[in-house]
Amino acid sequence: LGSLDPIKVLVTGAAGQIAYSLLYSIANGDVFGKDQPIILVLLDIPPMLPVLDGVVMELQDCALPLLREVIPTDKVEVGFKDLDAAILVGSMPRKEGMERKDLLKANVAIFKTQGAALDKYAKKTVKVLVVGNPANTNCLIAAKSAPSIPKENFSCLTRLDHNRARSQVAMRVGVPSDCVKDVVIWGNHSSTQYPDVHHAKVQMQGKEVPVFDAVKDDAWLKGDFITTVQQRGAAVIKARKLSSAMSAAKAICDHMRDIWFGTPEGEFISMGIYSSGNSYGVPDDLIFSFPLTIKNKTWKIVDGLEINDFSRGKMDATAAELVEERDTAISFLSV
């Protein structure tokens, strides 16, 4: 220890429940490496500062050797200064009876501010992960509000959906989840997302088998499997009376670790990234989830996957939703 300079990592919404499941893993070295010292910056809104103080006390009480400093704040000029990584968890949640466009309007204001703060205060190399929903569009607004930071540095979380899809297949076939690889989440982190297993493989009896051959139930794979993954967040809320926190935190760790250290050889993952110039006919200027590989902190879309008519229809539907969200959000940007 001590050979590496500390990196500065921001978590917003830091007094919330996803952050509570996330902060230990980051401070313990599970994300950025076991020899990488960390300065953790915790940003939340003023009413949450007393709660945040409690979180800071707990982080201190964990006595973690990599955690060099914890900075709790409600000020963007403190929160966004000299960042190496920003995990934007905080957003305006949807209240009952709230129109989607009202939700978008509230979040545009938040992510416009945070994008501008990244632009002004953070390192130009900062890697930004947007978790707060609607994550794809919030990420797009943040990226557009930070013109001096490359669009490639922004991503949104669809790894939770990716992990959900992997796990559903694994349970169905009766193998550990790491025996399933190359599932794809296309599109929006919403109920229109398309979990695609046409290219996925299952490790069984020492050989790789296509998912459709391993599961042997096309009706399930094209029906209940897809809706289960699409609706999983709602199912967790219904059961727990709170949204996914533990699994979201784990997905955030997976996502950031892959950005930092690259994806496993011969495997791809899903991440919402800037769509311009893709080869899959997805409209430009969206944050859209694609299959990716990552090397040297740079992502590359996995090209050449065959898209059948079933997949095309699902991809077009989620793209249409994102175009509509984007256009609504951008109409609020100038306000």
The active-site residue, picked from 162, 189, 198, 255, is: 189
Q: Is 199 a catalytic residue?
A: no
Task: Please indicate if the annotation marks 240 as binding a ligand.
Answer: no
Quote the CA–CA distance of 109 and 94 in Å, as a whole number. Answer: 15
Task: Please indicate if the annotation marks 308 as binding a ligand.
Answer: no
Contact 289, 185 (CB under 8 A): yes
Q: Which two tokens stand for residue 105?
A: 């309007």
Task: Please indicate if the annotation marks 107 as binding a ligand.
Answer: yes
Q: Residue 270 phi/psi, 5° resolution?
A: -115, 140
* N-term to C-term CA, the chain: 49
Nearest partner of 10 among 252, 246, 251, judged by Cα: 252
Which is it for strands 67-73 and 38-43: parallel, antiparallel or unpaired? parallel
Contact 12, 87 (CB under 8 A): yes
Contact 100, 106 (CB under 8 A): no
Task: Please indicate if the annotation marks 133 as binding a ligand.
Answer: yes
Task: Please indicate if the annotation marks 100 as binding a ligand.
Answer: yes
Task: Please indicate if the annotation marks 164 as binding a ligand.
Answer: yes
Residues annotated catalytic, as ranges: 189
**Residues annotated in a binding site for substrate:** 94, 100, 133, 164
**Residues annotated in a binding site for NAD(+):** 44, 107, 131-133
**Residues annotated in a binding site:** 44, 94, 100, 107, 131-133, 164
